Amino acid sequence: MLQSVLVKLPLLRQAARKNVLNIDEISRLIVDVPDFPEPGVVFKDITPLLAHPVGFAATVEQLAERIAASGAEELLAIESRGFIFGAAAATRLGLPLHLVRKPGKLPRRTIGVDYDLEYGSDRVEIHDGVLTAGKSYAIVDDVIATGGTAAATAQLVRDQGGDTAGCFVVIELAFLNGHKRLNGCRVDSLITF
């Protein structure tokens, strides 16, 4: 794994000197980790991307451009890696950011939506009163896989009368068909596997 990143470094350094990376160069910063978190799963590790200042900046810039084009008025970042990209994009755009978390993680009164997993269920929550009817919200996360968390977040927005401008992610694992769970909320991914 580390060796594959080291092989890519000369190309990335060359792009860094230009102070810009394109999508192909950004995707080279994402490392496959086989059999994590369980056998048969190939985990897409974004930590090398986060450790590359030019790559991270290029990723945030491209997400921010897409969010701006959507007309979103506020951002919702999904726990936990979505916080990284959501906070950076919100800062870049000068837009409010709200956190979508698992139960028991937010300090004030919350509202939430339960959703089904392959084996069981889960829940996402947001502080009560931060979603406004008629406003447009961009949902931000690092990866969309099976789509459960993003779909629940979109449902949370709709339940409060808001509109979803889209689900903006760095990576979409298209073979898992997570976009089909989003009930009309479009997925805008920088990289698709």
**C-alpha triplet 88, 13, 45: angle, nearest 5°:** 50
Q: What is the mean pLDDT of the chain?
A: 92
How far is it, in rounded angstroms, from Cα 171 to Cα 27?
Answer: 9
Instruction: State residue 11's pLDDT score.
Output: 55
pLDDT exceeding 90 applies to what percent of the chain? 86
Instruction: State residue 2's pLDDT score.
Output: 44
DSSP H or E stretch at residue 175 = none
User: Is 160 within 8 Å of 128 (Cβ atoms)?
Assistant: no
Of 136, 186, 183, the closest CA to residue 161 belongs to 136
Tally of domains in the chain: 1
Q: Which residues have a Cβ under 8 Å from the Cβ of 4 and sit 6 or more positions away? A: 31
How far is it, in rounded angstroms, from Cα 22 to Cα 28?
Answer: 10
Q: For residue 122, give the CATH number of its domain.
A: 3.40.50.2020
Which SS3 state, helix, strand or coil, does residue 10 take? Answer: helix
The range of the structural domain enclosing residue 168 comes to: 2-192
Instruction: State residue 17's pLDDT score.
Output: 47
Q: With left for phi above 0 and alpha for psi between -120 and 50, is residue 41 left, alpha or beta?
A: beta
How far is it, in rounded angstroms, from Cα 99 to Cα 78?
Answer: 6
In the chain, the amino acid numbered 143 is V
Instruction: State residue 20's pLDDT score.
Output: 82
Which SS3 state, helix, strand or coil, does residue 115 take? Answer: strand
User: Is 26 within 8 Å of 58 (Cβ atoms)?
Assistant: yes
Instruction: State residue 117's pLDDT score.
Output: 82
The residue ranges of the chain whose pLDDT is under 50 are 1-2, 5-6, 15-17
Instruction: State residue 181's pLDDT score.
Output: 94
Of 192, 190, 89, 191, the closest CA to residue 137 belongs to 89
pLDDT tens, 98-145? Answer: 999 999 999 999 999 999 987 789 999 999 999 999 999 999 999 999
